[in-house]
Amino acid sequence: MADAAVLDGMPRNQAYKFAAQAVLGSAKMVLETGIHPGELKDMVCSPGGTTIEAVATLEEKGLRTAIISAMKRCTQKSMEMSSLTNR
C-alpha cells in the first residue's frame, strides 16, 4: 500500500503513515464493532467506487489465496520447529 502511494507521488514517510492508519482503522473497526469483516467491507464499498475497485483488483490478483497459503505454511513450519524442540 505504501509503495503504491509512493509510486503515485506521496513522500515515503507519509506513505508509511497512510498505510499504517488504513490498516489500523480497519482492524479497530473489526475489534470494536464485532461486525464480520465481510459485512464491514460491504458497508464501506460504494457501488462503482474506489474501494470496491481496489478490492476487486486484490481478488483478481489472488491476495486471499496468497495469504491463506502463507498462513498454512507458517503453521506447518511452526509445527515442524515445535516437534524439533520437543525431542
pTM beyond cutoff 0.85: no
pLDDT exceeds cutoff 90 at 41: yes
pLDDT the model gives residue 59? 96
Percentage of the chain exceeding pLDDT 90: 94
Nearest alpha-carbon partner for 1 in 14, 82, 11, 16:
16
**How does 26-48 read in b/e, with b if 16+ C-beta sit within 10 Å?**
eeeeeeeeeeeeeeeeeeebeee
pLDDT in tens, 4-37: 999 999 999 999 999 999 999 999 999 999 999 9
Q: How confident is the model at residue 38 (pLDDT cuts 50, 70, 90)?
A: very high
